[in-house]
Amino acid sequence: MKTALTLGYVPLTDCAPLVVASELGLFAQAGLDVTLSREPSWANIRDKVAVGALDGAQMLATMPLSLSLGLGALREPTVAVLVLNQGGNTITLSESLCRRMEAYGGLSPRNLAAVLAEDRLCGVEPPTFAMVYPVSPHHLELRDWLASGGIDPDQDVRLTVVPPPQMVAHLAAGKVAGFCVGEPWGGLAAEQRLGRVVATSQDIFPNRAEKVLGVTARFAQAKPATVAALVEALLGACRWCDDNRAELAELLSQPEWLNVPAEVLMRGLGRPGFIRFFGINHPDPAQAMLLLAQMRRWGQVGGEDDAALAANVYGCAAGSAFQEITP
């Protein structure tokens, strides 16, 4: 069993289980010596896990699938051994864009389509919207939300990738007109009156896996006891996160973690149904199938056997740990 581990995370509200397991000593109780490595982007997470610089990481729910398929710079069979949370993302649009949409009746994608149509008649360039990673739930959510209003994400707007901690600065500088990102960054933009949250992940794809603990298939096969210990520690942390929202906001607000005011973090943590950490943790191939269906809808995957891929990537959980800690 390998006990000294380095796990990667991106500074977001839903990195909470890793932070809590570290701060409350749950990793240590499971016999693990874990160092958490703050990473600036999801591309960093992808590459460092693939080459072994990280033993595992908080990952986008799509990332073990995309890594296994080689949809980025590297191909490395990867498995999701634990779902860390459901929900937690927001679509946030600039204050100026929201005011224009309100003139058409409200903050719906159909009213955004009306604004875009007006701009086209005036020869105005399409706005740019940001998401966190090309093959991400955020990209899928943003595309689905736009399409629900009759907006073609490939023709009517421009889409770009911005790392989560940089979203608010890009909005403030006018580099993007909106973004889809995990909290607390949408909440921070709203707090600073730079934009407004117009939709959440639960509005678009309710009860979908959002972040997972991902490790390479090689690591999972070689170190099953280590994976089981990680699952045990993080399940306890997920339960604590759901039961102690105010304390969690205070913890995550600290400079060494998110460095965002606790009241901003509570915009998401205190919103009923917005984000859930516990009771949803067993990786389910059906969740992978839902993600793959959306990836296929937007041309991100080709002719792969989705059922086999889903079973390989989301069917490798440390089952005994789940039986010991139940909702």
Residue 16 burial (CB < 10 Å; 0-12/13-18/19+)? buried
- Which amino acid is located at 141 in the chain? E
Could you check whether 4-86+207-322 and 89-204 share the same CATH topology? Answer: yes
Per-residue model confidence (pLDDT) at position 320: 45
DSSP code, position 13: G
Instruction: Just give the CATH number of 4-86+207-322.
Output: 3.40.190.10
Per-residue model confidence (pLDDT) at position 305: 86
Q: Is there a contact between 13 and 183 (Cβ–Cβ < 8 Å)?
A: yes
| Sheet bearing 275-276, strands edge to edge | 33-38, 4-9, 56-60, 209-216, 78-87, 275-276
Residue positions counted in the chain: 327
Per-residue model confidence (pLDDT) at position 322: 53
pLDDT in tens, 237-294: 999 999 999 999 999 999 999 999 999 999 999 999 999 999 999 999 999 999 999 9
Per-residue model confidence (pLDDT) at position 302: 81
Per-residue model confidence (pLDDT) at position 318: 52
Angle at alpha carbon of residue 304, lines to 76 and 80, rounded to 5°: 45
The residue ranges of every structural domain in the chain are 4-86+207-322, 89-204
Q: How far lies 273's CA from each of 67, 87, 206, in Å?
A: 30, 8, 9
CA separation for the pair 185, 255 (Å, rounded): 15
DSSP code, position 298: T
The ranges of the chain with pLDDT < 50 are: 319-320, 323-327
Per-residue model confidence (pLDDT) at position 304: 73
Fold that domain 89-204 belongs to in CATH: D-Maltodextrin-Binding Protein; domain 2 (3.40.190)
